[in-house]
Structure 1
Amino acid sequence: MNKKAFLMAMITVIIWGSAFAAIRASLQGGYSSCHLVLFRYLIASFSFVLYALIPGVKFRLPAKQDWIRLLLLGWIGISTYHIGVTFGSQTISAGTAAMLIASSPIFTTIIAIFVLKERLERMGWIGLFIGFAGIAIITIGSNDTLTFSPGIIFVLVAALATSVFFVLQKPLFTRYKPIELTAYVTWAGTLPFLFFSPGLIEGIQHATLEANLSAIYVGIFPAGIAYVTWAIALSMGNASSVSTLLYIEPVFAIIVAWVWLQELPSTLSIVGGIVTVSGVLLVNFLGKKKTVGMTIDY
């Protein structure tokens, strides 16, 4: 991985790590999950429109044969993912959500086995088992009362969605610039959110200042800039090497949530997160006969 790819990936990890706390702050400040995902992606979409209109910027229209794939990318990687994370963050801590999202390489590996015909060594299968055991521990310890939280299901669906997103996204980097591809999938992913339009203005007016600033932040940075820096990193470096940096993302998420919201995941959830990441590392460094890259989005 070259230095620029490393720098772009690190910027992404730090910004995405802060997104979980920002989402929680917006939800606690008066936003509904529906209005938050719509508002942040209206901001992100408008930001890309402004960029495309800058004199001298050349934005190519996508080829007709790619329209369906771009729509699917947006609906899966943006719409499904962010609905899962945002709705899930209503009932679980920012750090717990980040650790569950860190499990997405496990789902990527399973998809790669069937779609890309990847083969795992024995250690790979052991790593998958350890990873799912970690997810189970996080689920059990998602709150201090050791009761199941429905937010877990939403975030796991988001983790699965981001895994599918990578498999569909990677081939398009050969035909589109990172910022073009990011803009197209952002616009496509924003369309389903328009269903949540009723009451948006009233929701913004009744939210606290902190909630509104947090929503603007996640619209510009995690939903916009970080997607571009991640796409640049993937286009310039080996995807599997770049993606290893995402294993430290929950650390940033936990630190930001602790400083900003005075919120920490339960001890059992932290243990589960360590077990899950250990399983992911085992799969990717000792368990594969053919390397497949991964990505996690916020």
Structure 2
Amino acid sequence: MTPAPPSQKLDSRSLLAILVTIVFWASAFAGIRAGLAAFEPGHLALYRFLVASVALGIYALVARIPVPPLGDLLRILGLSCLGISLYHVCLNYGEVSVPAGTASLIIASGPVITALLATRFGGERLNALGWLGTAISFSGVLLIVLGSGQGLSFARGALLILLAALATSIYFVFQKPLLRRMNPLHFTVWSLMLGTLPMLIFLHGFAAQLRAAPLGAHFAVIYLGLFPSALAYLTWTFALSRVPASVTTSFLYVSPVFAILIGWLWLREVPSAVSLLGGAVAIAGVVLLNLLGRPKN
């Protein structure tokens, strides 16, 4: 995968990469829920990204992925401490006290934050219809949460999840200059491995939890490490190297829609009519943003 300059429109390869990412990230909620039953939040994050780092490290050795220049390596480390380490640790700790539906609503603020940052620092622009599409999609996510019957619970954990949304938005926007001069696959490999390093602070007690955890919890975390982490971040970074960040992240509003579908197929959780309406509204907002939401130059 080679870097390509951002375009105003999605091509089929970028769209496919985004959809693969969103499906795996949507499926991660079940894996996190299963993992938290056996692991502390910090241990869960460490285990997940150790798995991802081992998989990507083996690939890096086989493919002979080069080490970036020191300046770029330090930039990747700084971004990864935010978008990988801080994001996942805050999200895990936040979901201990915040219902999944509320968490998804708070995380849904991420595309809004990303669009604001990309407009201010990335030279990207949305017109009035683009911001309207963003608002419509956010409203759709709100309907999904209300339709799930979980309501809105804003505890201290909610602040951690909001911090996670801010951290990942900064990560998405400020990696763009790096993706213009380096292979997005190489960036992802180094980002996930470097982002794992700060999680080593959770090593204390980790071995004991590994021994005590049931086999199902191990399978859940290994799945999280290989697919929603290693593979999904690769496909996401590939898309982000080709499409503006504000457009790419707008598809995160569709994640709760996939989560509903996965919950129905996997867990036999039948969605309510309000949740289905919310899913339709969220998709409509994304379509509006991507078809009419950017100024025509």
In the alignment, what sits opposite 2:18?
9
Following superposition, the deviation at residue 74 of structure 1 comes to: 0.8
Greater shift in the superposed pair: 33-42 or 209-218? 209-218
Specify every segment of 5 or more residues in structure 2 that has no aligned partner in the other structure, as ranges: 1-9
Instruction: Give the percent of matched residue pairs that are identical in Structure 1 and Structure 2.
Output: 41
Please say if residues 114 and 170 of structure 2, whose CA atoms lie closer than 8 Å, have aligned partners that are also in contact. Answer: yes
Match status 1:238 vs 2:243: yes
In the alignment, what sits opposite 2:106?
100
The correspondence of residues 1-298 of structure 1 with structure 2, limited to 5 A, is 1-28=10-37, 30-54=38-62, 57-116=63-122, 121-122=127-128, 144=150, 147-235=153-241, 237-239=242-244, 242-260=248-266, 288-289=294-295
Greater shift in the superposed pair: 64-73 or 271-280? 271-280
Question: Aligned partners of 1:108 and 1:50: how far apart in 2?
Answer: 32
Report the TM-score, using the length of structure 1 for normalisation.
0.79
Following superposition, the deviation at residue 62 of structure 1 comes to: 0.7
Following superposition, the deviation at residue 228 of structure 1 comes to: 1.0
Describe the shift of the 1:128–1:248 C-alpha distance in structure 2 as closer, same or farther (beyond 3 A).
closer
Please say if residues 140 and 148 of structure 1, whose CA atoms lie closer than 8 Å, have aligned partners that are also in contact. Answer: no
Please say if residues 49 and 196 of structure 2, whose CA atoms lie closer than 8 Å, have aligned partners that are also in contact. Answer: yes
Question: Aligned partners of 1:6 and 1:280: how far apart in 2?
Answer: 13
Following superposition, the deviation at residue 216 of structure 1 comes to: 0.8
Give, as a single letter, the amino acid of the residue that structure 1 aligns with 2:78.
L
Please say if residues 111 and 249 of structure 2, whose CA atoms lie closer than 8 Å, have aligned partners that are also in contact. Answer: no
Q: How many residues align?
A: 287
Following superposition, the deviation at residue 20 of structure 1 comes to: 1.4
Greater shift in the superposed pair: 189-198 or 199-208? 199-208
Question: Aligned partners of 1:96 and 1:268: how far apart in 2?
Answer: 15
Please say if residues 114 and 249 of structure 2, whose CA atoms lie closer than 8 Å, have aligned partners that are also in contact. Answer: no
Please say if residues 17 and 98 of structure 1, whose CA atoms lie closer than 8 Å, have aligned partners that are also in contact. Answer: no
Report the TM-score, using the length of structure 2 for normalisation.
0.79
Specify every segment of 5 or more residues in structure 1 that has no aligned partner in the other structure, as ranges: 292-298
Question: Aligned partners of 2:125 and 2:238: how far apart in 1?
Answer: 28
Residues 140-180 of structure 1: CA distance to partner in whole angstroms, max 9, x if unpaired? 99974654333322222222111111111112223222221
Question: Aligned partners of 2:12 and 2:279: how far apart in 1?
Answer: 29
Following superposition, the deviation at residue 108 of structure 1 comes to: 1.0
Give, as a single letter, the amino acid of the residue that structure 1 aligns with 2:16.
L
Please say if residues 57 and 193 of structure 2, whose CA atoms lie closer than 8 Å, have aligned partners that are also in contact. Answer: no
Question: Aligned partners of 1:155 and 1:265: how far apart in 2?
Answer: 24
In the alignment, what sits opposite 1:294?
none
Please say if residues 103 and 135 of structure 1, whose CA atoms lie closer than 8 Å, have aligned partners that are also in contact. Answer: no
Please say if residues 96 and 142 of structure 1, whose CA atoms lie closer than 8 Å, have aligned partners that are also in contact. Answer: no
Give, as a single letter, the amino acid of the residue that structure 1 aligns with 2:71.
Q
Following superposition, the deviation at residue 85 of structure 1 comes to: 1.9
Give, as a single letter, the amino acid of the residue that structure 1 aligns with 2:83.
G
Q: CA RMSD in A?
A: 3.4
Corresponding residue SS for 1:233: helix
Describe the shift of the 1:96–1:282 C-alpha distance in structure 2 as closer, same or farther (beyond 3 A).
farther
Question: Aligned partners of 2:282 and 2:214: how far apart in 1?
Answer: 36
Question: Aligned partners of 2:47 and 2:32: how far apart in 1?
Answer: 12
